[in-house]
């Protein structure tokens, strides 16, 4: 029982019960305000945006309140409150149970997050209305439906549209959206296409970008957008070529999936300049983390990488660290080759075919260490369940990044944050703790992850040309030799020569070229092995020097016969560094063997 003569609302809060089960099931209060005479002391019960006030009354008044309800009391100037307060709790349940009431604040926050998101598949949410012969009006919607009001309505063909006044939607936009559809309905399975006569639809302003195409003048208020920031935010999803808001939207023509990527690629430089001019790091973060993407045959990494480089140069890598981390996590699942190409180009590791300029910013190694770790930890990336091709570019990138993180970075003073205060060994130990090292060699040995010859051998060779100081994993090199020696010569066609020469180059560099492997390469390649001899490290020659001399002697008769040379049309099938050497056949073929002559 409560007797209050000052106006203290805390008096209505019950103390904990001696029964723990009751406390666990406690979800609200039942307050019975007994007839009493007092002045002031109005009680207000507030939850969400619908407060209710109870004044002095000559009759008993009942009030039920959830625990989340805020109870306040005005000061009592005379008289007193007299009330009975009961605890509401669940009974006859298995274990403690707490009623979780609807939370309008959480719902509002969820809808706001939806309006800011560029990746959610449903950006127009509907709530079905029961059929009625009354004219469509907001006054007739009822309390619950009035809580879910936005701009357009109905699944299927819209014949009338009533925007809420708060939307400030011009008549031209209303007319343009007649016939459009919600993408999902509340309390129903996704894409449940049922015909409703009436519906309320949540359609936030940032996602009304398609209306821009209907307007010919440059009026930024056309979509009721208050600033250039909002206008750019609304156009960002146009660069997500895989996003459901573009390709999967019911409001776009069926052939949009083929036309959007072309427009996307053409306007990449424009969006880059806009983001740089706005100097808005939040928009740049959203663009990189959630929006910009690739599409085979339409949008390549060579087109997107300069945009990424420009934004990193404009804002610095630190403000965009999370954005780059998100970009890598998205791309690696669908375009692993392009992802590592971007990273090794930004790090300045790709000296043969970079897709953008190197970043060259202080402490940039922190960016690449985190992105490299994200790549290695991608679920199923190195299993046969991944479903996306992993070519030599992935192998090249992983090997270069591993060498960069473990060998190149620790001794550099301006590469890592800790390098200015700690010795290289300690920096490496800290990195090993933060980014638990996963050796790349373990992935390269898995036949489920990579093709041993076409991906691993060629990728390692390309990585060696970019960074000759790489220490190749010997277990991987020996595995490649075993696979190559299992080839049957007549089953190997000329297009396989690049992988044979790649194994030869890798084995030579790792000093694992023995007589058996040399003989296999010579048998499979014929004259095509001659240019590869010029790339052999001098310290690897003594092990097979006699075999090399015998191979050259046996090739002299073929060199004298132009009809036996590799045809010009086949030169492009050689690895890049071999092709130019192959063109010298018959004119000047000279291989110097240390200590053995020519």
* pLDDT tens by residue, 205-253: 666 555 444 444 444 444 555 566 766 776 676 665 444 333 233 333 3
Is residue 297 predicted with pLDDT exceeding 70? no
The tokens 């939806």 sit on which residue?
114
Where does residue 252 fall: left (phi above 0), alpha (psi -120 to 50 degrees), or beta otherwise?
beta
CB environment 298-315: b (16+ within 10 A), e (fewer): bbbbebbbbbbbbbbebb
Least Cα distance to 378 among 343, 442, 329 occurs for 329
Which tens digit of pLDDT belongs to each residue from 32-45?
Answer: 888 887 888 888 88
CB 532 within 8 A of CB 576: no
Higher pLDDT, 584 or 138: 138
The average pLDDT across 101-128 equals 67
pLDDT, tens digit, for every residue of 521-531?
887 877 777 77
Quick one: average pLDDT of 393-408? Answer: 91
- At how many degrees (to 10) do helices 497-509 and 515-525 cross? 160
380-407 mean pLDDT: 82
The helix, strand and coil proportions of the chain, stated in percent and rounded to the nearest 5, come to 50, 10, 40
Distance CA 175, CA 172 (A): 5
pLDDT of residue 451: 81
User: What confidence score (pLDDT) does residue 143 get?
Assistant: 53
Predicted confidence (pLDDT) at residue 322 exceeds the cutoff of 70 = yes
For 253-290, the pLDDT digits (tens) are 333 333 344 445 566 777 778 888 888 888 888 888 88
Other C-beta atoms closer than 10 Å to the C-beta of 50 total 10
Residue of higher predicted confidence among 298 and 103: 298
504 exposed, middle or buried (CB, 10 Å; 0-12, 13-18, 19+)?
buried
99-108, 117-126, 328-337, 423-432: the lowest-pLDDT one: 99-108
CA dihedral 91, 96, 101, 106 (to 10 degrees): 180
Q: For residue range 449-479, what is the model confidence (pLDDT) as tens digits?
A: 788 888 888 899 999 999 989 888 888 888 8
Averaged pLDDT for residues 191-203: 62
pLDDT at res. 216:
46
**What is this structure's pTM?**
0.60
300 token code pair: 């390549």
Q: Can you list the domains of the chain with their CATH numbers?
A: 2-89 (2.60.120), 300-471 (no CATH), 499-582 (no CATH)
Residue with tokens 């300045």: 348
Q: What pLDDT shows up at residue 165?
A: 65
Residue 222 and residue 168 in contact, taking contact as beta carbons nearer than 8 Å: no
Alpha-carbon distance of 64 to 511, in angstroms, equals: 83
């Amino acid at each position: 029982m409560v007797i209050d003569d000052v106006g203290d609302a805390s008096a209505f809060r019950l103390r904990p019960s001696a029964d723990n089960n009751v406390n666990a099931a406690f979800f609200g209060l039942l307050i019975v305000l007994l007839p009493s005479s007092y002045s002031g002391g109005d009680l207000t019960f507030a939850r969400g945006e619908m407060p209710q006030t109870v004044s002095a009354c000559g009759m008993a008044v009942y009030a039920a309140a959830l625990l989340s309800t805020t109870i306040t009391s005005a000061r009592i100037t005379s008289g007193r409150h007299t009330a009975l307060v009961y605890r509401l709790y669940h009974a006859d349940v298995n274990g403690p149970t707490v009623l979780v009431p609807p939370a309008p604040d959480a719902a509002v926050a969820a809808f706001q997050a939806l309006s800011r998101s560029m990746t959610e598949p449903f950006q127009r949410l509907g709530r079905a209305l029961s059929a009625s012969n009354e004219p469509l009006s907001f006054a007739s919607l009822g309390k619950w439906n009035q809580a879910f009001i936005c701009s357009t309505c109905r699944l299927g063909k819209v014949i009338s549209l009533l925007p809420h006044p708060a939307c400030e939607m011009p008549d031209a936009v209303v007319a343009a959206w007649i016939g459009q559809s919600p993408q999902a309905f509340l309390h129903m399975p996704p894409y449940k296409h049922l015909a409703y006569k009436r519906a309320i639809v949540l359609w936030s302003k940032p996602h009304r970008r398609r209306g821009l195409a209907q307007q010919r003048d440059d009026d930024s208020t056309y979509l009721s957008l208050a600033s250039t920031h909002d206008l750019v935010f609304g156009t960002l999803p146009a660069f997500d070529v895989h996003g459901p808001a573009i390709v999967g939207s019911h409001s776009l023509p069926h052939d949009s999936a083929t036309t959007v990527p072309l427009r996307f690629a053409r306007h990449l430089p424009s969006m880059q300049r806009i983001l740089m001019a706005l100097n808005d790091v939040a928009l740049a973060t959203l663009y990189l983390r959630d929006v910009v993407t690739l599409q085979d045959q339409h949008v390549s990494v060579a087109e997107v990488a300069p945009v990424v480089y420009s934004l990193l140069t404009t804002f610095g890598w630190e403000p965009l660290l999370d954005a780059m981390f998100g970009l890598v996590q998205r791309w690696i699942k669908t375009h692993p080759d392009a992802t590592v190409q971007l990273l090794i180009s930004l790090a300045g590791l790709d000296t043969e075919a970079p897709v953008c300029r190197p970043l060259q910013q202080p402490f940039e190694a922190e960016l690449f260490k985190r992105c490299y770790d994200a790549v290695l930890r991608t679920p199923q990336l190195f299993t046969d369940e991944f479903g996306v091709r992993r070519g030599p570019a992935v192998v090249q990138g992983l090997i270069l990044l591993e060498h960069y993180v473990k060998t190149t970075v620790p001794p550099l003073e301006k590469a890592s944050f800790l390098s200015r205060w700690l010795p290289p060994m300690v920096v490496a130990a800290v990195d090993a703790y933060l980014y638990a090292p996963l050796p790349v060699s373990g992935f390269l040995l898995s036949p489920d992850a990579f093709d041993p010859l076409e991906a691993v051998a060629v990728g390692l060779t390309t990585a060696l040309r970019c960074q000759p100081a790489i220490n190749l994993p010997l277990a991987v090199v020996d595995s490649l030799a075993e696979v190559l020696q299992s080839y049957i010569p007549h089953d190997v066609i000329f297009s396989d020569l690049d992988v044979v020469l790649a194994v030869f180059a890798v084995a030579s560099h790792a000093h694992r070229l023995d007589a058996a492997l040399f003989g296999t390469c010579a048998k499979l390649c014929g004259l095509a092995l001659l240019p590869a001899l010029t790339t052999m490290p001098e310290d690897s020659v003594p092990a097979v020097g006699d075999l090399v001399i015998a191979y050259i002697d046996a090739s002299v008769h073929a060199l004298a016969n132009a009809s036996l040379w590799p045809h010009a049309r086949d030169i492009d099938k050689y690895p890049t560094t071999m092709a130019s050497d192959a063109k010298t056949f018959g004119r000047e073929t000279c291989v110097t063997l240390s200590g053995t002559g020519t």
